[in-house]
């Protein structure tokens, strides 16, 4: 192009871009002074039950809930659950509350060395089970609604299979079911892991190790591109605060209790137990055919952590005659925080639950 290569760079355009970048960086120094301590959470909440480090919170909206059955959110262990209530304009929880749902979330806390020998039975039967029993007692009902997200969805499937009478409706969101799909990069990596040596050496699995694995799934996007893109918002305090809040969530990761990690990798990632069998929780076999409650399975079409095929494998594995799927046009994180998610996801969940209210 006019002798300046296929990209069309000219000395003048490069000079203008350099000046623009310098202006952005100068503005960024002023902007950073305007950004205060980054907080998260858009919604008031109160502790209603606790077992050690694990806490059940009830969210309080601007008006009383109209839903008769509470909704328990079960998140993954590897990140903090405030992603579902990140900020005012990025909160699946707020959207659910505005539609009348009665929303709770289970917060796993931060495991330390005293939690080294916690097993999957502790997380699924003791913690999820304890929270469920608390809600069942408070509301005087046999079963409550569950929204399991990512690994929390896998836990919720196990809990429902072992305790089908305690769950009224089950929603799984970006939940891995088939861990051996060809496009599941994390699953392919994990299958070759000597998890016994790994856990026996480290004890609890450090959060930094887990974060490194997730970031290297998309190294260009997560190590380079997003920080280059940050330059464009250096002169916008609100946008920069949003960026830093997301960064805080990404790196605010708990360590993983060693034994539970060992069991999850062996039975789910390596054994692909939902499809092939072999998942045992506290000596009891998990059989998805025991699940006969209504299921809504939500997956993200551009999910690089839990590919759609991994989630959609749930169809036909359970004993439910009321199974629905919902595809979301976005990625693993976008399903919580994008503007489209705020419009679509809470409404879809509310409508689906409303059709099954009884």
> What is residue 1's predicted lDDT score, i.e. its pLDDT?
45
Q: What is the pLDDT of residue 238?
A: 73
What would the mean pLDDT of 72-98 be, rounded to a whole number?
92
Q: Which residue has the higher pLDDT, 28 or 154?
A: 154
8 Å CB contact between 335 and 343? no
Q: What pLDDT, in 10s, does the model give residues 180-234?
A: 999 888 888 888 889 999 999 999 999 888 777 766 766 655 555 565 566 666 6
3-class SS of residue 61:
coil
- In tens, the pLDDT along 326-341 reads 999 998 888 988 889 9
> What is the per-residue pLDDT across 95-150, written as a single tens digit (0 to 9) for each?
999 999 999 999 999 999 999 999 999 999 999 999 999 999 999 999 999 999 99
Indicate the range of 52-66, 249-263, 296-310 predicted with least confidence: 249-263
Cα–Cα distance measured from residue 205 to residue 255, given in angstroms and rounded to the nearest whole number:
6
Give me the pLDDT at residue 233, please.
65
For residue 263, pLDDT over 80 is answered with: yes
Catalytic pick among 86, 150, 288, 298? 150
What is the pLDDT, as a whole number, of residue 155?
Answer: 98
0.75 exceeded by pTM: yes
The predicted-structure confidence for 267-295, as pLDDT tens digits, reads as follows 999 999 999 999 999 999 999 999 999 99
User: Is the separation of the CB atoms in 313 and 275 below 8 Å?
Assistant: yes
What whole-number distance in Å separates Cα of residue 181 and Cα of residue 194? 20
How much is the average pLDDT of 80-94?
90
Q: What is the pLDDT, as a whole number, of residue 211? A: 75
Cα–Cα distance list, 106 to 31, 126, 189 (Å) = 36, 12, 29
* Catalytic site includes residue 213: no
Q: How far apart are CA 60 and CA 97, in angstroms?
A: 8
Whether the per-residue pLDDT at 4 is higher than 60: the answer is: no
pLDDT of residue 242: 74
Q: For the chain, what percent of residues have pLDDT higher than 70? A: 82
Closest CA to 274 of 189, 156, 194, 163: 156
Q: What pLDDT was estimated at residue 230?
A: 62
Q: Give the residue with greater pLDDT, 252 vs 132.
A: 132
For residue range 13-64, list pLDDT tens digits in order.
Answer: 656 656 665 565 555 556 655 656 666 778 999 999 999 999 999 999 999 9
User: What does the block give as tokens for 242?
Assistant: 């949003």
How many other C-beta atoms lie within 10 A of the C-beta of residue 218? 15
The chain-wide mean pLDDT, for the chain, equals 88
């Amino acid at each position: 192009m006019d002798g300046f290569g296929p990209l069309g760079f000219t000395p003048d355009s490069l000079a203008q871009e350099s000046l623009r970048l310098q202006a952005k960086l100068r503005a960024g120094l002023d902007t950073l002074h305007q950004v205060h301590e980054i907080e998260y959470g858009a919604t008031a909440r109160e502790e209603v039950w606790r077992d050690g480090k694990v806490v059940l919170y009830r969210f309080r909206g601007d008006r009383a809930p109209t839903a008769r059955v509470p909704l328990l959110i079960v998140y993954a262990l590897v990140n903090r659950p405030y992603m579902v209530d990140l900020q005012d304009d990025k909160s699946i929880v707020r959207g659910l509350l505005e539609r009348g749902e009665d929303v709770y979330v289970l917060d796993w806390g931060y495991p330390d060395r005293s939690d080294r020998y916690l097993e999957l039975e502790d997380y699924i039967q003791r913690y999820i089970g304890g929270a469920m029993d608390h809600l069942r007692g408070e509301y005087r009902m046999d079963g409550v609604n569950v929204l399991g997200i990512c690994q929390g969805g896998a836990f919720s499937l196990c809990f429902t299979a072992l305790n089908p009478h305690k769950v009224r409706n089950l929603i799984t969101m970006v939940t891995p079911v088939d861990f051996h799909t060809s496009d599941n990069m994390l699953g392919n990596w994990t299958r070759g892991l000597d998890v016994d040596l790994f856990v026996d050496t480290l004890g609890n699995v450090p959060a930094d190790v887990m974060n490194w694995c997730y970031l290297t799934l998309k190294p260009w996007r997560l190590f380079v591109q997003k920080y280059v893109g940050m330059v464009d918002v250096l002169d916008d305090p609100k946008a920069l605060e949003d960026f830093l809040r997301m960064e805080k969530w990404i790196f605010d990761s708990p360590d993983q209790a060693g034994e539970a990690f060992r069991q999850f990798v062996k039975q789910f990632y390596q054994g692909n137990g939902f499809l092939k069998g072999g998942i045992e929780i506290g000596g009891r076999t998990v059989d998805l055919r025991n699940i006969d409650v209504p299921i809504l399975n939500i997956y993200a079409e551009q999910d690089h952590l839990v590919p759609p095929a991994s989630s959609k494998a749930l169809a036909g594995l359970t004993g439910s005659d009321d199974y629905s799927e919902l595809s979301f046009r976005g990625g693993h994180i976008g399903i919580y925080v994008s503007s489209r998610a705020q419009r679509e996801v809470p409404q879809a969940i509310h409508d689906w639950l409303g059709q099954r209210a009884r």
